[in-house]
Amino acid sequence: MTNPDNLIPLLQELISARGPSGQEDEVRAICIRELETLCDKTWTDASGNVIGFLRGVSSEGPAIRVMAHMDELAMIVKRINEDGTLRVNPLGGIYPANYGQGPVEIMADQGILPGVLSIGPQHTTADSARIWEVKVKGGNKAMDWSHPYIFTRKTLAQLKEAGVHAGTRVVIARSRRTLFDIDDCIGSYFMDNRAAIVTLLGAAARMKAEDKQPAGDTYLVMTTTEEIGAHGATYASRTLPGDITLAVDSGPAVEEYGVALTAEPIVVYGDAAGLYDKTISDHLLACGRLLGMDPQCAYWQSYGSDASLSKAIGQTARAALLCIATENTHGYEIIPRDGIGQCVALLAAYLEHPV
Ligand SMILES: [Zn+2]
């Protein structure tokens, strides 16, 4: 059961679970298990979103959908080459260099197969055109997904028998899914958005431990396919009650936005998909200050969330976004260890006193 005072073991379990867009089953199973212990009712909707319902103190309070996405950046097989290597495309905004060469897992129909994201031997010349293109003092081209391949050590017949085909997902191997300590920070792939899932669960666990209830009916929604267009979130925004969708996600800690890698939560006022509700954002800021925090404010020029994308297509009237400051977003992500705890406290405070 979610321990609001130590969320790190749950974060590690969620990071170990595979969750490429549209195939979030392993993450979903953990979310269902935890939400069932915390919520008045838990169910999975037709889009694969997991929803935990927390009854509000009063039916007068605003119904709120709080969202964190279950899916992770991954790859999808485009074709199988004659030599048994796989040509993959990204599922979400990820570049090969953000993963680097290394172990991956191919989620074949018959089970998991090992593979390696590869770029080829470097002791080569222009005769090896694909490798040469991205060599410094060679082709000098930036690497894109036409360059790497998945090494499988399997024949076409073996891959077919294992159930590898166009559409098969390829994910970072479990051996590369271990939390790494760096002073006051922790690093791993997929803090986006497992850190936010832990935040939602932590806020619910904290309210339960303190025998508190949200002011209005609250739907904790663990969403599908955010990384490729927020399809789960837009469906849930349309089908669940309420006018507010509040997303929790990773926020880029970078000078461009004046955002630092600190534990202070980030209140976001707008992104590339639209504006967040200013009344809610201002209120989140005030809630944080009341708790003794100094929340950061941000406007993300290159970003979209479950909430802003829901609003952009008219499925929610009001949107809000809380972020955890993150280094290397959409890569090997690093967050301040206390970032989750602060976000938990702010989210719980908001749900008890929403606007
Ligand atoms: Zn995210």
pLDDT at residue 318 greater than cutoff 90: yes
The verdict on domain 8-72+189-352 having CATH code 3.40.630.10 is yes
Mean pLDDT score, 237-251: 98
48-91 tens-digit pLDDT: 999 999 999 988 899 999 999 999 999 999 999 999 999 999 99
Res 1 pLDDT > 90: no
227 CA distance to ligand 1 middle (Å): 7
- Average of pLDDT values for 42-48? 98
The DSSP result for 146-198, as a single string, is TS-EEE----HHHHHHHT--TT-EEEE-GGG---EEETTEEEETTHHHHHHHH
Residues 109-141: tens digit of each pLDDT: 999 999 999 999 999 999 999 999 999 999 999
Bond into 193 cis (ω within 30): yes
Q: Is the pLDDT of residue 302 over 90?
A: yes
Extract the tokens encoding 90: 């990204």
The per-residue pLDDT for range 337-353, each reduced to its tens digit, is: 999 999 999 999 999 99
Cα 196 to ligand 1 centroid, rounded to whole Å = 8
Q: How much distance in Å is there from the Cα of 193 to the middle of ligand 1?
A: 5
How much distance in Å is there from the Cα of 190 to the middle of ligand 1?
8
Sorted by where each begins, the domain ranges of the chain are: 8-72+189-352, 75-174
Q: How far apart are CA 205 and CA 260, in angstroms?
A: 28
Mean pLDDT of the 303-318 span:
98
Ligand 1 mean position to 30 CA, how many Å? 18
CATH homologous superfamily of 75-174 equals Peptidase M42, domain 2 (2.40.30.40)
Please compute the mean of the pLDDT values over residues 201-216 and round it to a whole number: 97
Report CA(350)–ligand 1 centroid distance (Å).
21
Compute the mean pLDDT over every residue in the chain, rounded to the nearest whole number. Answer: 97
For residue 59, the model assigns a pLDDT of 84
Q: Quick one: CA dihedral 77, 78, 79, 84, positive or negative?
A: negative
Q: What are the structure tokens assigned to 119, written together?
A: 């770029």
Does residue 230 have a pLDDT over 90? yes
- Decide if pLDDT at 280 tops 90: yes
Query: Under DSSP, is residue 119 helix (H, G, I), strand (E, B) or coil?
Result: coil
In this prediction, residue 118 carries a pLDDT of: 97
State the distance from the centre of ligand 1 to the C-alpha of 82, rounded, in angstroms: 35
What is the per-residue pLDDT for 238?
Answer: 98
